[in-house]
Amino acid sequence: MAKFKLVAEPTFKCNVLIPRAGQEDGQIELTFNHYSADKLTKLEDEVKDKQIVDLVMKIVQGWSLDEEFNQENMQILLNNYPAAWRAITDTYYKEMLGQREKN
C-alpha cells in the first residue's frame, strides 16, 4: 500500500474518456490541479458566472495531446466535442471525492 501523506500532491493524472459522435470514446490523459476543499469552493464561486472553459482551465494543467495545452486549444476541444466539459469535470470531481469506478 502506498504511503499516505497529510498534504496531497499538487497535481494528479487521470485518463478521461471523451464521447465522440458516431465513434468510440476518445481517451486523453489530463494532468489536474489538486485543490484543498476550501480552495475548491472558492474556485467554484470565482468561475460561477464565467464560461465553462474558465473552470476547465483552472482544474486542468496539461494533456497528452500533441497540440499545445492552452485556453484556445481547450476551447477548440470543448467546441468540437460538446460532452467533453462534462467528461472532464465529472472525472475531476470523482477523483477528488474518491468516487472511482471499480472494475
For position 100, what pLDDT does the model report?
64
Identify any residues that bridge with 20 across adjacent strands, giving them in sequence order: none
Residue 36 lies in a domain: yes
At residue 69, φ and ψ (nearest 5 deg) are -85, 115
Determine, yes or no, domain membership for 102. Answer: no
Contact 44, 64 (CB under 8 A): no
Q: Which residues of the chain have pLDDT under 50?
A: 103
Which pLDDT belongs to residue 103?
A: 47
pTM of the full predicted structure? 0.87
Question: How many domains in the chain?
Answer: 1
User: What pLDDT, on the 0 to 100 scale, is given for residue 101?
Assistant: 62
Owning domain of residue 71: 11-96
- Cell output for 96: 477528488
| 3-state SS assignment for residue 89 | helix
